Each structure stands twice: as C-alpha cells, then as structure tokens.
C-alpha cells in the first residue's frame, strides 16, 4: 500500500504492530514505540522517557517527576559528556563526567574547572 498526498490532519492506521520504512521499521510493543535501523533497535519510548541505543552502548534520557532531565549512560564504567554544536558539524564539549571521578566544566571548548577529592580546582571566582 502506497501513501501519497495524505492530509496532515488525517490519521494513518497500520494494521498489526509494525510499520516498515525502507530498511527501518517502527514497532508498537506493549504500549511502547520502538524505532529500528537496519534491524537494530535504536530508540524506544517508555513510561518514564526514552531509551536510545547505539554504538554498542545504551543511554537513558528521562524527565523526572520533579522536572529534572536525567541522562544516564547505562554501559558499565563509561563516562558521560555533554556537547553543543556550533551550528554546522563541530561539537564543543561543555561538561564531562568521569565515572567514579571528576566532573569537568568547559568554556568555549577549554576546561576551566574540575572537581577533585578536595573540592574544585581551576575555578576562578570573579
């Protein structure tokens, strides 16, 4: 069945639980939606947020009941970085959390402060 010229206000229903799109698919499983790329699940909705899987690691992004945004790297002994884009393709590090260790803060891609066992180093209070 081909879909052409569907009005944006119309609903599209797919019998069954899976919609195939090229080598990808969208599947509804137990109330959750799953997105597959070439047979590998890369995104899943849950009652508490999203689970994103890729590059042999798994990350969970969720918004807590209190409104906090939690980014959890579920791979053992892995670090977590927060990057922003310059609007093209380059990524700039703004935060890096080291599993069992320091949290680092960056300004314009340069580390300006990090936590240590004794507090914070590198920070200049102005």
Same domain, 3 and 26: yes
Same domain, 29 and 86: no
Supply the pLDDT for residue 99: 81
Same domain, 13 and 68: yes
d(CA 53, CA 70): 16
Burial bucket for residue 99 (CB in 10 Å: 0-12, 13-18, 19+) = exposed
Model confidence over 13-72: pLDDT tens digits? 777 788 877 778 888 877 788 888 888 888 888 887 777 776 646 667 777 788 777 777
d(CA 57, CA 39): 16
Average pLDDT of the residues of the chain: 77
- State the total domains in the chain: 2
Same domain, 6 and 60: yes
Determine the structural domain holding residue 125 and report its residue range.
Answer: 79-126
pTM: 0.50
């Amino acid at each position: 069945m081909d879909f052409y010229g569907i009005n944006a206000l119309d609903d599209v229903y797919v019998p069954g639980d899976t919609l195939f799109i090229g080598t990808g698919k969208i599947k509804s499983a137990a109330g959750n939606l799953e997105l597959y790329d070439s047979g590998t699940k890369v995104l899943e909705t849950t009652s508490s947020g999203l689970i994103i899987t890729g590059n042999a690691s798994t990350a969970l992004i969720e918004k807590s009941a209190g409104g906090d945004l939690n980014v959890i790297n579920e791979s053992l002994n892995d670090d977590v970085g927060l990057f922003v884009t310059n609007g093209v393709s380059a990524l700039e590090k703004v935060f890096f959390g080291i599993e069992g260790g320091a949290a680092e803060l960056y300004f314009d891609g340069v580390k300006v402060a990090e936590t240590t066992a004794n507090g914070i180093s590198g920070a200049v209070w102005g």
